Structure 1
Amino acid sequence: MRTDVWTTYSLQDLLMFGPEVYLRLYVRLNQEFWPWQLPVVALGLLVPVLLGRPEASLRRLAWLAIASAWVLSGAGFLLTYYSEINWPAAGFGWAFVVQGVLLAWLGLRSVSQPIFPQGRRFQLVWWLTVVLLPWVTVLESGTVQALAVFGLAPGVTVAATNLVPGALSGRLGWLLVPIPLLWLAFSAATFWSLQVYWLLGLPVAGLVLLVIGYWLSPSPAQSPDRQSAHHDPAHR
């Protein structure tokens, strides 16, 4: 057997499914999960508001909602549906569950203060992501039944919550970065191979939103309170 035969294969040859089969997974998910998408989306839209509230209990609820979105999209879409046609999805499904647990742990221990001085910017970017990004699967499939709902569809869930690592103090936020980056690379390669170019907007948005999250994150230059605390002798 010639050893150079493997050079004739591409990633597309390794995929045992086509674009229609993949997009059909979103339709199945929405049909079987209906009508629970409605409270999931409603809670998702509340997340940026709750994160900025002074009540610690409401911020805890927001972190638990974010963590639950990862667990649900991992155990739901990836393990239950996607792994049937693409075996690496099972590994990512469990990784999503781990990420959800990590988000809950890191988030709940960082609720001493509301996050993001630029709360309105964070809210706007989050809402635009949760409301607009799910439609890329509709544009690709041609049916609204394939809507990629936040909290259920991994691509939208990863993109929106990539705003969050920058909110954590110190280096803790970087613990949340590896799994999303691996997922973005894997999904981008898959979508490119399937030639579903609208869906490439999901990993691209996820990477851009990760950068935006760190740009919006509190720093001495952005937070007057931190600056005043640094210069006020009473805080020394």
Structure 2
Amino acid sequence: MSGADWLSYSLQDFVMFGPQVFLRLFVRINQDLWPWQLLAVVAAIGIPALLLRQGDAARRLALGLMAIAWVTSGYGFLVGYFGPINWPATWFGWAFVAQGALLGAALFCGGVHKGRLPIRQFVVLWLVAVCGLPFLAVADSGQWQSVALFGIAPGTTAAAGALVVALVTGPWRWLYLPLLVLWSLFSAAMFWVLQTWWLLIAPLATLLLVGAGFWLSPRPARSQD
């Protein structure tokens, strides 16, 4: 296929499904998982609760829960539900799994920041992400069963996970960052084509929360040392 042939394609040519089909995936996974997605709700609340303790063990456990959330949303939603109708989603699904493995490696290889966080700001932003973003799919679909929970829906997981930039040290942070940006660009393009306007807020929020993660990152003046 020549370069001119590729230029004749638009984004719509790579999205072979409609918005109703996509939004129905959230309903399906919630129905299939019930009541186990309640564990995702517990994790979404438990992570900031652990960070409020400001202890090293609590911070490591919080990052461990975040790693699991990357894996479950990547393999469960992207590979298992979205991948069969959108092949790039499968690639992103395995990238989400790798992102979880990256956080797991950071836990055991000294990649966790030990400085003191401005925890109140972190918790407020976290709760905005995990409590507000899940209802964007509801606004687009009109069905409460399509709520996009943290740890299950990749958009909510990535947005909340963007704040983890504040919790990992420099080298690990730069390894962690690319997927957040690539996923935001991919999902924004897809939502634009599908005209799911409310969902467009999620990738924008992810990029903003990446910036917030850098801003919240402990500095020498905040260090416990």
Using the size of structure 1 for normalisation, the TM-score is 0.88
2:114 equivalent in structure 1: 113
Q: How many pairs align?
A: 224
Supply the distance in 2 between the matched residues of 1:98 and 1:174 (Cα, whole angstroms).
14
Alignment RMSD (CA, Å):
2.1
2:136 equivalent in structure 1: 136
User: 2:114 is matched by which residue type in structure 1?
Assistant: Q
Q: Secondary structure at the match of 1:163?
A: helix
Could you say which structure has the larger radius of gyration? 1
Q: Give the fraction of aligned pairs with identical amino acids, expressed as a percent.
A: 48
1:52-85 Cα deviation digits (max 9, x unpaired): 4254332222111000000000110001000011
* Distance 1:110-1:6 versus aligned 2 partners, 3 A rule: closer
Supply the distance in 2 between the matched residues of 1:3 and 1:104 (Cα, whole angstroms).
42
* Distance 1:62-1:114 versus aligned 2 partners, 3 A rule: farther
Supply the distance in 1 between the matched residues of 2:76 and 2:35 (Cα, whole angstroms).
15
1:93 equivalent in structure 2: 93
* Distance 1:4-1:60 versus aligned 2 partners, 3 A rule: closer
* Distance 1:9-1:164 versus aligned 2 partners, 3 A rule: same
Supply the distance in 2 between the matched residues of 1:129 and 1:200 (Cα, whole angstroms).
14
- Deviation at residue 8 of structure 1 after TM alignment: 4.2
Using the size of structure 2 for normalisation, the TM-score is 0.92
Mapping of residues 1-236 of structure 1, within 5 Å: 4=4, 6-108=6-108, 109-111=110-112, 113=114, 115-116=116-117, 118-221=118-221, 223=222, 225=223
Gaps of 5+ in 2: none
Which 10-residue stretch deviates more, 42-51 or 120-129? Answer: 42-51
- Deviation at residue 105 of structure 1 after TM alignment: 1.5
Contact residue 54 and residue 116 of structure 2 kept, 8 A: no
* Distance 1:60-1:4 versus aligned 2 partners, 3 A rule: closer
- Deviation at residue 166 of structure 1 after TM alignment: 2.6
Supply the distance in 2 between the matched residues of 1:20 and 1:52 (Cα, whole angstroms).
40
Supply the distance in 1 between the matched residues of 2:52 and 2:43 (Cα, whole angstroms).
15
